[in-house]
C-alpha cells in the first residue's frame, strides 16, 4: 500500500535539498501583482487599480495575472491598459515555466515569482489600500528581511497536522492573512520555491490550512529564512472585511473578504471603510465601458474584419426590432455595444456565411440576431433562435418615427439562422 504522506514528505525533502539560486538580473524594480480573472474578480481588480492610480496616486507598475481568454477578454485587458496595468496570461506562462497550478490561490505565488519585479507587493483583487502603499517598501523590517507577512485573526495550533506533514516541530503560530504579501525576491528566493512547492501539492497541504495563506509562513520556516510579521492583529468587521495595519499600527489595507464589489446591484457599506466614494467612481467608470461579460470574438475572415472596422468607424446606428421603437445602437471596439445594449444584444461581431458578411448580435449566451448588409448601408436580418422575428439597422440616430425595413431577399428557415447550435457552428 502506498503511503501518500511519506510520498509527499520525500517530495518536499527533495525540493528543499535542491533549491535554485536567485536568478540575477532577471527581475528589476518594484511593482504590484494582482491575480484576477472572470467577471467578479475582474470587477474588484479594476476598482483596486482605479483607486491606486486615480485616488491614491500610486505609480508603481502593476501586473494582473489571469487564466487565459475565458477569464480576460480584449475589452477587459484594454481597460486595464488605460490605467497603466499590464495583463499576464498564466496559461501561456505555464507553457514556458511549467508548474502544477490550477486555481487562483495557487496562482498567487507563481505570479509573484514570475512577475517582472524584484520587489513585489502581492494584493488580492478585493483589497483596497487606505493610502498609497508605496511607503511600506521603505520600512526598515522589509529592508532587513525582504519579506513582510500580515497576521490573520486566528492562530495555527500545535495540534494542526500541517506541522507533521511538513516535518516541522509543532508550535502555536500566528496564521497568515495573504490578502497582502510584500516580498524582495532577491532575499527570499529559496523560501518562495518552498511556498510554490506547497501550493503545487495543494491536495496534501490545503487539507490542513485555508488555501495559500499559511504556505507563506511554512515556506519561510522550512527554509529557515527570515521574515517580518506585522505586530498588530487585523481589525475584523464581522465576516465582511479585515483591516490590516503597518508597522506603526496605522491602517493600510482594507481586505473586503466577505463584501466584494459587485458589477451590478447595491454594494455593502462598511463602517470605517476609507475611500468608498473613490470605489464608487471606479465602478461607474467600469460600467460605462464594459458590460460585465467575458466576451471573446471568434476567429474571422478578412472580409469580416474589414466590415467590423467600417462599423466601428461609423459607430452610431438606428436599430428596429420587434416590439420596440427605433433605438440608437453604438457599436464599439472589442465587440462591445455601448448605447442601445439590451438583453438580446450585449456584444457583436461580423462573420462570413455562404460568402456573405453577417453582422452578429449576441446575448449573454451566444448569437441572437444575424443581419446582412443591404442597399444604402442598411443591415437586415432575422433572429437566430426564432427566425420569424426580423430586425433592421441603418446609419444615424433615430429621428422619432419608425423606419420600416423592407427585406430585399428571401431568408432561409434552416441553416445558420435556424437555431443557436447552428449559429455557433
List pLDDT tens digits, range 119-128. Answer: 999 999 999 9
Q: What is the biggest distance separating any 2 CA atoms in the chain, rounded to whole angstroms? A: 81
Per-residue confidence band for 396, with pLDDT thresholds at 50, 70 and 90:
confident
pLDDT of 291 reads 96
* Nearest alpha-carbon partner for 180 in 240, 225, 117, 136: 136
Residue 247 bridge partners (DSSP): none
How many Å separate Cα 384 from the centre of its chain?
Answer: 31
pLDDT of 1 reads 41
pLDDT of 399 reads 65
Taking residues 196-216, report their average pLDDT. Answer: 97
pLDDT of 410 reads 41
pTM of the model: 0.91
Q: Give domain limits for the chain.
A: 4-289, 302-424
Q: Which residues contact 124 (CB under 8 A, 6 or more apart)?
A: 34, 35, 178, 179, 180, 255
pLDDT of 413 reads 37
Distance CA(24)–CA(109), nearest Å, equals 19
Distance CA(237)–CA(255), nearest Å, equals 10
Taking residues 338-352, report their average pLDDT. Answer: 96
**Contact status, residue 219 vs residue 188, Cβ threshold 8 Å:** no
Measure Cα distances from 412 to 110, 234, 244, 395, 418 in Å: 52, 64, 62, 25, 8
pLDDT of 412 reads 42
**Contact status, residue 244 vs residue 252, Cβ threshold 8 Å:** yes
Per-residue confidence band for 5, with pLDDT thresholds at 50, 70 and 90:
confident
Here the cell at position 3 is 503511503
Q: What proportion of the chain, given as a percentage, has pLDDT over 70?
A: 92
For 4-289, CATH number out of 3.40.50, 3.90.550, 2.40.50, 1.10.1060 equals 3.90.550
Residue 173 has pLDDT above 80, yes or no: yes
Distance CA(243)–CA(255), nearest Å, equals 6
- Report the b/e string of 106-138 with b at 16+ CB within 10 A: bbbbbbbbbbebbbbbbbbbbbbbbbebbebbe
pLDDT of 4 reads 65
**Contact status, residue 369 vs residue 381, Cβ threshold 8 Å:** yes
Residue 422 has pLDDT above 50, yes or no: no
Name the one residue in this structure whose C-alpha cell is 500545535: 158
pLDDT of 3 reads 64
* Nearest alpha-carbon partner for 111 in 86, 139, 130: 86
pLDDT of 324 reads 87
Instruction: Quick: pLDDT tens for 234-266.
Output: 999 988 999 999 999 999 999 999 999 999 999
Instruction: Quick: pLDDT tens for 252-302.
Output: 999 999 999 999 999 999 989 999 999 999 999 999 999 999 999 999 999
Here the cell at position 326 is 427605433
Amino acid at each position: 500500500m502506498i503511503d501518500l504522506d511519506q510520498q509527499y514528505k520525500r517530495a518536499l525533502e527533495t525540493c528543499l535539498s535542491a533549491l535554485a539560486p536567485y536568478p540575477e538580473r532577471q527581475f528589476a524594480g518594484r511593482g504590484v501583482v494582482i491575480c484576477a480573472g472572470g467577471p467578479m474578480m475582474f470587477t474588484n481588480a479594476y476598482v483596486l487599480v482605479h483607486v491606486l492610480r486615480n485616488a491614491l496616486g500610486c505609480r508603481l507598475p502593476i501586473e494582473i495575472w489571469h487564466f487565459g481568454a475565458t477569464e480576460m477578454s480584449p475589452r477587459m485587458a484594454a481597460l486595464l491598459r488605460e490605467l497603466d496595468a499590464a495583463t499576464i496570461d498564466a496559461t501561456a506562462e505555464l507553457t514556458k515555466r511549467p508548474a502544477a497550478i490550477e486555481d487562483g490561490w495557487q496562482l498567487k505565488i507563481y505570479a509573484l515569482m514570475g512577475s517582472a519585479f524584484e520587489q513585489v507587493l502581492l494584493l488580492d483583487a478585493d483589497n483596497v489600500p487606505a493610502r498609497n502603499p508605496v511607503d511600506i517598501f521603505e520600512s526598515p523590517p522589509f529592508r532587513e528581511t525582504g519579506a513582510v507577512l500580515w497576521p490573520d485573526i486566528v492562530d495555527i495550533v500545535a495540534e494542526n497536522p500541517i506541522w507533521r506533514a511538513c516535518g516541522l516541530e509543532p508550535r502555536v503560530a500566528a496564521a497568515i492573512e495573504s490578502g497582502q504579501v510584500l516580498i524582495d525576491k532577491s532575499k527570499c528566493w529559496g523560501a518562495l520555491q518552498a511556498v510554490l512547492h506547497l501550493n503545487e501539492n495543494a491536495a496534501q497541504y490545503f487539507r490542513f490550512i485555508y488555501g495559500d495563506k499559511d504556505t507563506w509562513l511554512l515556506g519561510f520556516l522550512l527554509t529557515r529564512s527570515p521574515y517580518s510579521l506585522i505586530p498588530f492583529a487585523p481589525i475584523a468587521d464581522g465576516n465582511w472585511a479585515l483591516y490590516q495595519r503597518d508597522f506603526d499600527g496605522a491602517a493600510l489595507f482594507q481586505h473586503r473578504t466577505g463584501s466584494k464589489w459587485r458589477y451590478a446591484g447595491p454594494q455593502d457599506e462598511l463602517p470605517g471603510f476609507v475611500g468608498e466614494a473613490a470605489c464608487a467612481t471606479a465602478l461607474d467608470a467600469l460600467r460605462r465601458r464594459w458590460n460585465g461579460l467575458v466576451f471573446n470574438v471568434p476567429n474571422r475572415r478578412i472580409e469580416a474584419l474589414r466590415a467590423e472596422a467600417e462599423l466601428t468607424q461609423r459607430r452610431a446606428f438606428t436599430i428596429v426590432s420587434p416590439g420596440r421603437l427605433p433605438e440608437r445602437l453604438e457599436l464599439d471596439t472589442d465587440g462591445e455595444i455601448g448605447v442601445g445594449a439590451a438583453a438580446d444584444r450585449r456584444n457583436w461581431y461580423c462573420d462570413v456565411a455562404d460568402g456573405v458578411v453577417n453582422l452578429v448580435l449576441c446575448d449573454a449566451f451566444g448569437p441572437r440576431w444575424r443581419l446582412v448588409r443591404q442597399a444604402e448601408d442598411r443591415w437586415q436580418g432575422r433572429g437566430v433562435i426564432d427566425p420569424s422575428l426580423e430586425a433592421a439597422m441603418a446609419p444615424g440616430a433615430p429621428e422619432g418615427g419608425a423606419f420600416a425595413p423592407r427585406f430585399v431577399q428571401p431568408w432561409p428557415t434552416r441553416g445558420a439562422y435556424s437555431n443557436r447550435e447552428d449559429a455557433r457552428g
